[in-house]
């Protein structure tokens, strides 16, 4: 069986993929994650997921390589990882009381195969006070998360609702779609 490689340095994606109990390695993809002019959030997530998988597959051509990316979509505007406390606070203030659509794409590149799947998660952020935002940011420090929140942690308290058909998509790797892609590449998680 060819080796499985996750084209990511994200600890969140590593933890999610580990749930499938398959041995895998992680390799940094070194891909420019800047959006192209006029690029829609869903297209950005798909392009980056495939670019990450292809970049690592070029170094490991006999492997099954998974790439993934997530973009928060606020009324058509892509919101990425905030990086800093101030940027995260600004993102959360903008998202307060609004629906945000998280576009999470996963791609597989393997010998003879390049395929991609995308999961969409609709999140309604409750109306947030500056004090609630500050309390949350001090607790979770989600500066490496698209949309400035960790739903798997205290970030759940920021939300009124989450709608998705792939529950891990919001954390950064849609495992239902990942399993389907792995099967297409000849790797059955339940074998």
Which residues are part of the catalytic machinery?
Answer: 69
Which residues make Cβ contacts (< 8 Å) with residue 75, sequence separation at least 6? 98
Cα distance between residue 96 and residue 137, in whole Å: 14
The answer to whether 88 touches 137, Cβ cutoff 8 Å, is yes
**Cβ atoms within 10 Å of 42's Cβ, excluding its own:** 17
**Between the CA of residue 32 and those of 29, 41, 44, 104, what are the distances in Å?**
9, 15, 11, 17
Cα distance between residue 52 and residue 67, in whole Å: 5
**Residue 147: closest CA among 177, 162, 18:** 162
What 156-160 contacts at long range (C-beta under 8 Å, 24+ apart), as own/partner pairs, is 158/92, 158/125, 158/126, 158/128, 158/132, 159/123, 159/124, 159/125, 159/126, 160/124, 160/125, 160/126
């Amino acid at each position: 069986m060819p080796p499985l490689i996750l084209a990511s340095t994200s600890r969140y994606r590593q933890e999610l993929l580990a749930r499938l109990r398959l041995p895998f390695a992680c390799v940094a993809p070194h891909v420019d994650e800047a959006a192209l002019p006029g690029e829609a959030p869903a297209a950005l997530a798909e392009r980056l997921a495939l670019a990450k998988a292809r970049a690592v597959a070029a170094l490991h051509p006999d492997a099954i390589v998974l790439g993934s990316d997530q973009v928060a979509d606020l009324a058509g505007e892509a919101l990425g990882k905030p990086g800093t406390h101030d940027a995260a606070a600004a993102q959360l203030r903008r998202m307060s009381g609004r629906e945000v659509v998280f576009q999470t794409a996963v791609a597989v590149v393997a010998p003879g195969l390049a395929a991609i799947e995308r999961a969409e998660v609709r999140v309604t952020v409750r109306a947030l006070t500056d004090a609630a935002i500050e309390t949350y940011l001090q607790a979770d420090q989600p500066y490496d998360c698209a949309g400035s929140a960790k739903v798997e942690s205290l970030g759940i308290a920021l939300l009124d609702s989450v709608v998705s058909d792939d529950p891990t998509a919001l954390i950064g790797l849609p495992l239902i779609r990942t399993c389907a892609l792995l099967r297409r590449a000849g790797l059955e998680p339940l074998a």
